[in-house]
C-alpha cells in the first residue's frame, strides 16, 4: 500500500478529452476511435453498432453529452435541475477508467442497492443520477430518453463478457485513507492553486457558448446536491486524484482528500428525504456525510474522517 503522499502509476489517461465517442460511416453504423486506449488496457470498446440500433445509440450519446440542452431546467421536459451533463462526471462519454466509467455497466444490473434498500434496475441507477447529481427528477423507465440512454450504455458494454459483473476501472479509484481528517482549510489552498483556472474562484464552473458547462460547478445552486455520491469526501478524492487537473492529474493523496473536503464543505442544494437512504443502517457507508448513522460517532468524522481502515469507499 503506498503512503498517503505517494503517487500511483498509470493513474491518468494520456488523452482525457470530452468529445463524442461516435462517428457516422456510410453504412449507417458507428466506428469508435478511442486514442486514449492502449493494447494492454483491459477496457474494450465495441468497434461498431448495427445500423438498426444506430439512431437509438446516437440519441443516448447525445443526451449523455448534452443533458442540459435536452432535459435541463430551461427545457419543456425539465428533468435535470441544473446545467450539468452526464459527461461532467463520467468523462469522455463514460469511457475512462476510474472516472466513473460505464464500460460494462449493464452487466451489473439488476443489483441490490444498499442506499435504496432493494434490488434496482439500471434505469433506477440512472434516475439516481438525475435526482442527485443533476438535482432534478426521474425519467419514466419507458420514456424514449431513458431507452436511448440505456441503449448507449448497452452499446458501451456489449463486448464485455456477460459473466464479468464489474469491469476493473469502474467507479473511482480507491485511495489509502490518510491517518488524519481531511482538512477543508488546506483544501482551500489546493483549490486556489490547482482548480480555479477551470472551475472558477467561487466554484462556479466555466460555460460553453451554448450555456452548457465545459467545466462543471463544484458547489452552489447549479451543482450536485447533498445526496449525490460526489458529496462523499472519499468518492470525490478518488475521482480528483485520478483525473484532476484534467489531462494532468498531479495531486498527492492528502491534497486530493483536502480539496475534496473543501469542495464538500461549501453550500449546495439539499435533497429532501436523504434520512430515508440506507434503510438498513448497518449497510450505510461510514463516510456517508448525512445522518442518521448506525453509530454515535461525531458527524464531522463521518464527513471528513479519519475513516476506519476496514470500510470500503465504493
Could you give the domains of the chain? Answer: 23-171 (1.10.760.10), 184-304 (1.10.760.10)
| Cell numbers placing 189 | 489552498
Q: What is the pTM of this model?
A: 0.86
Distance CA 12, CA 52 (A): 36
- With the C-alpha atoms ordered 303, 306, 308, 310, is the resulting torsion angle positive or negative? positive
Peptide bond into 91 cis (omega under 30): no
Q: Using one digit for the tens of pLDDT, what is the confidence trace for 29-65?
A: 434 434 334 343 446 556 678 788 999 999 999 999 9
The whole-number pLDDT of residue 27 equals: 37
107: Cβ contacts below 8 Å, ≥ 6 apart: 157, 160, 161, 162, 164, 165, 166, 167
What is the per-residue pLDDT for 162?
83
Among 99, 94, 112, residue whose Cα is nearest residue 149: 94
Name 7's Cβ contacts closer than 8 Å, sequence gap at least 6: 252
pLDDT at 265: 98
- Cis ω before 89 (30° cut-off from 0): no
- Alpha carbon distance 3, 178 (integer Å): 9
Low-confidence ranges of the chain (pLDDT < 70): 1-47, 309-314
Q: How far apart are the first and last CA of the chain?
A: 18
Amino acid at each position: 500500500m503506498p503512503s498517503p503522499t505517494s503517487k500511483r502509476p498509470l493513474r491518468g489517461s494520456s488523452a482525457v478529452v470530452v468529445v463524442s465517442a461516435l462517428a457516422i460511416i456510410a453504412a449507417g453504423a458507428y466506428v469508435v476511435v478511442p486514442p486514449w486506449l492502449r493494447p494492454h488496457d483491459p477496457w474494450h470498446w465495441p468497434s461498431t453498432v448495427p445500423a438498426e440500433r444506430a439512431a437509438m445509440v446516437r440519441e443516448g450519446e447525445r443526451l449523455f453529452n448534452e443533458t442540459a440542452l435536452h432535459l435541463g431546467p430551461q427545457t419543456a421536459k425539465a428533468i435535470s435541475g441544473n446545467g450539468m451533463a452526464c459527461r461532467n462526471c463520467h468523462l469522455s462519454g463514460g469511457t475512462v477508467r476510474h472516472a466513473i466509467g460505464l464500460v460494462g455497466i449493464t452487466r451489473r444490473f439488476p443489483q441490490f442497492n444498499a442506499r435504496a434498500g432493494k434490488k434496482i434496475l439500471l434505469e433506477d441507477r440512472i434516475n439516481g443520477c438525475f435526482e442527485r447529481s443533476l438535482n432534478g427528477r426521474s425519467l419514466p423507465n419507458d420514456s424514449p430518453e431513458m431507452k436511448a440512454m440505456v441503449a448507449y450504455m448497452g452499446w458501451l458494454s456489449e463486448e464485455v463478457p456477460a459473466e464479468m459483473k464489474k469491469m476493473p476501472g469502474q467507479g473511482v479509484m480507491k485511495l489509502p485513507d490518510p491517518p488524519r481528517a481531511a482538512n477543508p482549510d488546506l483544501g482551500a489552498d489546493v483549490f486556489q492553486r490547482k482548480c480555479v483556472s477551470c472551475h472558477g474562484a467561487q466554484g462556479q464552473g466555466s460555460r460553453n457558448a451554448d450555456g452548457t458547462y465545459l467545466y462543471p460547478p463544484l458547489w452552489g445552486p447549479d451543482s450536485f446536491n447533498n445526496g449525490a455520491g460526489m458529496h462523499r469526501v472519499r468518492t470525490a478524492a478518488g475521482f480528483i486524484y485520478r483525473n484532476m487537473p484534467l489531462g494532468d492529474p498531479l495531486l498527492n493523496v492528502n491534497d486530493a482528500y483536502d480539496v475534496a473536503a473543501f469542495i464538500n464543505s461549501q453550500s449546495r442544494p439539499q435533497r429532501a428525504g436523504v434520512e430515508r437512504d440506507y434503510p438498513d443502517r448497518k449497510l450505510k457507508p461510514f463516510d456517508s456525510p448525512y445522518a442518521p448513522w448506525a453509530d454515535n460517532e461525531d458527524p464531522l468524522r463521518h464527513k471528513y474522517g479519519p475513516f476506519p481502515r476496514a470500510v470500503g469507499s465504493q
